[in-house]
Amino acid sequence: MKKQLLKYTLLFMLFINTFIVNSEQINDKISEITPKNATQLVSIIDSYRGLNTAGFSFDITNVSYKENRDSRTNQLSVDVKQDNSLVKFQSPARQQGRILLKKHSDMWLYIPGTRKVIRISPAQRLLGETSNADVTGSNFSRDYSGEIMPQDNPEQIKLILSAKENNMSYQKVIFWLQNQAPFKPIKSEYYARSGKLLKTAQYKAFKEFNGELKVHKMLLSDPLIAGSYTWMLFDNYRSSQLPDALFNKEAIVSL
């Protein structure tokens, strides 16, 4: 009887010890993917619009809707290398051949037939609720400071991004993220320097490209105009070999 009791006691202790070890291993794994601070969360947000490569490309389809008006669509191809972006207009036909170039925080537009490259604002609207900055992308990690705010919903994280400089397209951006890995964005609000809410984005679908999860469908809405919204479809992310000369203001007229 004593031998059996000793046997069961040893088995029970072995089970408990195994459970503790496994729990510690699980917690270690969770700690590896759980952001410790706002800076890590901002980096995760950036990762949903870029690839971990020196250069990459993707396609965007914008479809804009306004009440009592026909929808409008344009299609773009985007090349990105570090902090530079080149956007080529594929459709509609009247916009085909236009090129949008972003170098750091500067932006230019080339319109075929004019031989001129004009400086434009990143905040300028491109189609519907879509701005130039929305299609060229933002480097939140570089340009914004993040702060985690109290949130009533335990399943979400509320993150406020404040622009480090006054020349940013949006002075403040508020993100709501899932409060678990992979911390996908749920919604974001974009504010002007005056504090005015400019637009709201809802992240409706994600898709894996080259083993990395990216935003696939995003819905932009105008808080001041009822029935005004734009769908952005991001697709075909791929690594690309992009020469530095491609992102040259003088060279885009010959592309």
- CATH number for the domain that contains residue 162: 2.50.20.10
Average confidence (pLDDT) over 203-231: 92
Same domain, 116 and 139: yes
Residues 6+ positions from 28 with CB-CB distance below 8 Å: none
Same domain, 22 and 134: no
Give me the chain's average pLDDT, please: 82
Same domain, 2 and 61: no
- Min mean pLDDT across 77-81, 139-143, 212-216 is at 139-143
- Tell me the torsion sign for CA atoms 186, 192, 193, 196: negative
The domain containing residue 8 runs over which residues? 1-33
- 12/56: higher pLDDT: 56
93-134 pLDDT, tens digit each: 999 999 999 988 789 999 998 878 999 887 777 766 777 777
The DSSP bridge partners found for residue 21 are none
What is residue 11's predicted lDDT score, i.e. its pLDDT?
A: 34
Same domain, 75 and 94: yes
Distance set, CA 148 to CA 36, 37, 46, 105, 165 (Å): 11, 8, 16, 26, 20
Same domain, 14 and 57: no
> Would strands 229-239 and 212-221 be described as parallel, antiparallel, or unpaired?
antiparallel
Same domain, 26 and 43: no
Q: 3-state class of 15 per DSSP? A: helix
Structure-derived torsion over alpha carbons of residues 59, 65, 71, 75, reported in degrees to the nearest 10? -10
- Confidence bin at 181 (pLDDT 50/70/90): very high
Q: How far apart are CA 232 and CA 124, in angstroms?
A: 17
Same domain, 42 and 4: no
What percent of the chain shows pLDDT beyond 90? 55
Same domain, 29 and 95: no
Same domain, 23 and 95: no
Same domain, 12 and 47: no
Count structural domains, the chain: 2
What is residue 145's predicted lDDT score, i.e. its pLDDT?
A: 96
Same domain, 216 and 241: yes
* Contact in structure between 174 and 160 (CB atoms under 8 Å): yes
Same domain, 7 and 124: no
- Confidence bin at 36 (pLDDT 50/70/90): low
On whether the pTM is more than 0.75, the answer is yes
Q: How far apart are CA 11 and CA 31, in angstroms?
A: 30
What phi, psi does 142 have (nearest 5°)?
A: -85, -40
